[in-house]
A and B are shown apart, each in its own frame.
Chain A
Amino acid sequence: MSWMTRSKKLVATVALAGVSLALAHTAAEAALCVWRKPDQDIKRFFPGADTYKTDFRTPGGKRAAIEKRIGARLDPDESEFKFYRIIDDGKQVGTILTHLGKGQYGAIEVVVALDNSGKVKGVGIQRDRERARAALRSGAFLGQFDGKSVKDPMEIGKDIKPAAKGAEKPSATVAFSVKKLLVLLDELG
């Protein structure tokens, strides 16, 4: 009897794992990248702003258009995005978005602040595991994105200088994150 119980459980668990693997191939609910320090980012990018509110946005029928514009498929976990609307004196003064980019040695968590016209006000990095960590977070590198809009090209080595020699891959990851978030804001508002 106990053998049968164990066998049933084993079969059920294996089946469950298999079904989950199949389902999880494309399923998703929420984007993975959390916004770690809202207070400090707002103070830095929107000094004087009072608070923020979160708008949940789903790509829905615009998924194909977004993927075409960014030149890549959305990640499996990206069926939903959080747009953090920054409020000052009751009015929206901008939006902050976050993205989990694929670095050389792990995720690069990118924060992008945008004004109401859709231009970059600033870019920050929350966490990363890269070797050129300081260069990647430097004003010299991240400042190159300031003022960029969704129409601007952001190719590393051409439009944007890499953070450091040998850091082309993580630099491209940050550039891709900025481009992607600009497109998302443009498409999903």
Chain B
Amino acid sequence: MRSIQPRMKGLVAVGVLIAMAAGPARAGESPAAPPETAPAEAAAAEAGEDGGGRGKSYAIRYRLDVRPMAGSDPAKLEVMAAEAEVTGEAGEHVEYAIQIPAYTAMKGRGKEMHFGNLYAIFRRNLGEPTLKVGQFVIPFGNLVNYETHTRPVQTLYRYSLGVRIDPGAELEGFLNKDTEFQLAVTTGNGSFRKDNNANKVVTARVSRTFELGDNELRLGVSALRGKLPVFSLMSDPVMGSGEVLEFSMKNRVGLDAEYYRGPYLVRAELVGGDDNGRGAYGHWVQLSVPLSYKTSIDVGTERWKQFSGKLSGNWIGIEHKLTDNRILRLALQSADASEGAHPMSMTMITGQLLVEF
């Protein structure tokens, strides 16, 4: 009975979240009828409808991510995220973002990789770098441009870095029209964890966008140094079952790319470095082929090798927009890993219903 309570508590929280969204939903059924005032609308109303007034303003987005999964483990249906995201501004120079998870089936460090965005961005004059303070996605590789939080297939960060959201500060800006940079100093402990070892992780990235006729190429170079967790390759850290083998002083260099060739998009990342002097390297590549505005197919592959063993994975997935705020995804993933003398093979089918409102 005790084990049921946290789950039921979570489901109640999800119910509350949905109930919060129910007001504008009902009001919006008729385009002719003025909707009831939603929280964000209330904030805007406070600012005045004549465009002259302006106080604190914010917007709230609710998200529900439900996934049926089948594979080596028994089939299950999980609520991976029932959450709210608040973004807003305070004055002319401060923006903020707060991620509020009401419920998730994720646990431990996997959960912390996905939940915990809580930061303020300070901007001064146009053209000057901005300063981000709080907990945020660290600027390494394709984490900067590819939002993986709502996707069944994750990028290499879960093994190559062992962290995604981390507390600290980040400077971000442009060197020229096509070149941007990020420089971050974080604790390496993950979101909502104390900096108990006074460790600092330094991450830097520079990227440049090249216009190539009808195509576009964005290339990024990243570097990272700091003490971070090394996960076992025998399970996926993001699914919450990840075992931390040790905390290593990691040195990483990464090359990331986004290549838009007409409607096709290739995302890639190449990472190399060491964990306390022991080599670690791998790559991640994904091709996205849109069939129409609503439907697209992704295929990809990844490899990772570290002192404890190696992992390779492949996947194919399809995404279909039911409406602009309801997305269905289906992904077939296979992975082979070996650690010590233990090999492991895994095949998993993940469905996803993602609803944002």
Contacts and interface: CB of A to CB of B under 8 A. Distances in A.
Contact of B66 (A5, A16, A74): A16
Interface string B216-232: 10000000000000000
A58 interface: yes
B92 A16 contact: no
Interface string A43-60: 100000111111111101
B60 A26 contact: no
Contact of B40 (A50, A56, A60): A56
Nearest to B34: A61
Contact of B260 (A30, A60, A77, A133): A133
B29 interface: yes
B340 interface: no
Given A27-B25, A28-B325, A50 B50 contact: no
Given A29-B24, A55-B51, A60-B41, A16 B260 contact: no
Nearest to A28: B357
A96 to B, nearest CB: 12
Most chain-B Cβ atoms within 10 A of its Cβ — which of A5, A9, A20?
A20
Nearest to B27: A26
Contact of A13 (B59, B79, B126, B260): B79
Contacts of A38: 126
A79 B21 contact: no
B356 A77 contact: yes
A17 B49 contact: no
Interface in B4-51: 4, 7-8, 11, 14-15, 18, 21-22, 24-25, 28-29, 31-32, 34-35, 38-41, 43-45, 47, 49-51
Given A16-B11, A23-B18, A133-B216, A79 B64 contact: no
Interface string B54-82: 10011111101010000000001111001
Given A24-B325, A27-B24, A130 B263 contact: yes
A67 to B, nearest CB: 5
Interface in A70-107: 73-77, 79-80, 82-83, 85, 87, 102-107
Interface residues of A, number: 68
B214 A77 contact: no
A159 to B, nearest CB: 24
B298 interface: no
Contact of B11 (A12, A64, A106): A12
Contacts of A23: 18, 21-22, 25, 357
Nearest to A73: B31
Contact of B31 (A9, A12, A67): A67
B78 A5 contact: no
B66 A79 contact: no
Q: What does DSSP make chain B's interface, helix, strand, loop or mixed? A: mixed
B196 interface: no
A129 to B, nearest CB: 4
Nearest to B82: A16
A39 interface: yes
Contact of A106 (B4, B49, B296): B296
> Considering the complex of A and B, which 9 residue pairs feature the smallest CB-CB distances, nearest first?
A27-B25, A105-B263, A56-B44, A30-B59, A26-B28, A27-B357, A105-B290, A61-B34, A64-B32
Given A16-B11, A20-B355, 19 more contacts: A9-B77, A12-B11, A13-B66, A13-B77, A21-B353, A24-B25, A26-B28, A27-B24, A39-B127, A49-B126, A54-B89, A57-B49, A58-B45, A77-B356, A79-B24, A79-B40, A80-B44, A104-B263, A104-B293
Interface of B: 3-4, 7-8, 11, 14-15, 18, 21-22, 24-25, 28-29, 31-32, 34-35, 38-41, 43-45, 47, 49-51, 54, 57-62, 64, 66, 76-79, 82, 87, 89, 92-93, 125-127, 174, 177, 211, 213-216, 260, 262-263, 265, 290, 292-293, 296, 323-326, 353, 355-357
Interface of A: 5-6, 8-10, 12-14, 16-17, 19-21, 23-30, 32, 38-40, 42-43, 49-58, 60-61, 63-64, 67, 73-77, 79-80, 82-83, 85, 87, 102-107, 129-135, 188-189
21 contacts: A12-B11, A13-B66, A20-B357, A23-B25, A23-B357, A24-B21, A24-B357, A27-B22, A28-B28, A32-B324, A42-B126, A51-B125, A51-B126, A53-B54, A53-B92, A54-B89, A56-B57, A60-B49, A73-B31, A77-B356, A133-B216
